[in-house]
Chain A
Amino acid sequence: GQSLEQPSEVTAVEGAIVQINCTYQTSGFYGLSWYQQHDGGAPTFLSYNALDGLEETGRFSSFLSRSDSYGYLLLQELQMKDSASYFCALLTGGGNKLTFGTGTQLKVEL
């Protein structure tokens, strides 16, 4: 099976940079995804890493190191609307199902 661990909560100020870490255990996977979920909302896709290294999408970047079983999501120029839960998820199997981590609640303060 797979398991993923994330910090439960992170707090940062508007305009700052924050990093959300994800460590995982798995016997095999295609890649690591990141999803954002606002309270009461649906998870929405943010980023995906198939290979080691950094992927940049606007204010968001994601990193993967397969040798360290570790990844992170980097959010720059934080805005109040970034306050949400962030999940890392392993993409596995023939159907490309997602196995989600425990989630990190990000609070952005003024």
Chain B
Amino acid sequence: DTGVSQNPRHKITKRGQNVTFRCDPISEHNRLYWYRQTLGQGPEFLTYFQNEAQLEKSRLLSDRFSAERPKGSFSTLEIQRTEQGDSAMYLCASSNSGRVTYEQYFGPGTRLTVT
């Protein structure tokens, strides 16, 4: 399977704990995106990487959120001191770079539940 993969698929954590999610993009894609989706809403952009450089972060992304993409391959998204409002589906997507690359390939997501 050469699609985007995400781990874990589900995560239940207690409020105040830290969690980390992993995304493995399609191997030849150098752009990687993180989105967050809550029930009944469309995905919301969080951040994106071109290779290992994090080039944009949404104002939605508080200081408790950090993302990395070492060596421009897989990426991790860490949430520190989780809050109940962080409960959502966290989606990763990848694409090729270019002036305009309109097709993003999404992974299955990590569903986070904060109790």
Contacts and interface: CB of A to CB of B under 8 A. Distances in A.
A70 B42 CA distance: 18
B42 A30 contact: no
B91 A95 contact: no
Interface string B37-58: 0001111110010100001100
Contacts of B100: 30-31, 50, 91, 96
Nearest to B106: A42
B108 A42 contact: yes
Given A43-B43, A89-B42, A103-B40, A98 B104 contact: yes
B29 to A, nearest CB: 12
Contacts, number: 66
Given A91-B100, A95-B48, A98-B45, A42 B40 contact: no
Nearest to B42: A100
Contact of B48 (A4, A30, A45, A97): A97
B55 A41 contact: no
B30 to A, nearest CB: 11
B102 A93 contact: no
Interface string A38-63: 00011111001010000000000000
A4 B44 CA distance: 12
B31 A95 contact: yes
B102 A48 contact: yes
B106 A96 contact: no
10 contacts: A30-B102, A42-B106, A42-B109, A43-B43, A44-B106, A45-B103, A96-B100, A97-B33, A100-B44, A102-B42
Given A41-B108, A95-B56, A103-B42, 20 more contacts: A30-B100, A31-B100, A42-B106, A42-B107, A44-B106, A45-B104, A48-B103, A95-B31, A95-B48, A96-B101, A97-B33, A97-B48, A97-B56, A98-B35, A98-B43, A100-B43, A101-B42, A102-B41, A102-B42, A103-B40
Interface of A: 4, 30-31, 33, 41-45, 48, 50, 87, 89, 91, 93-103
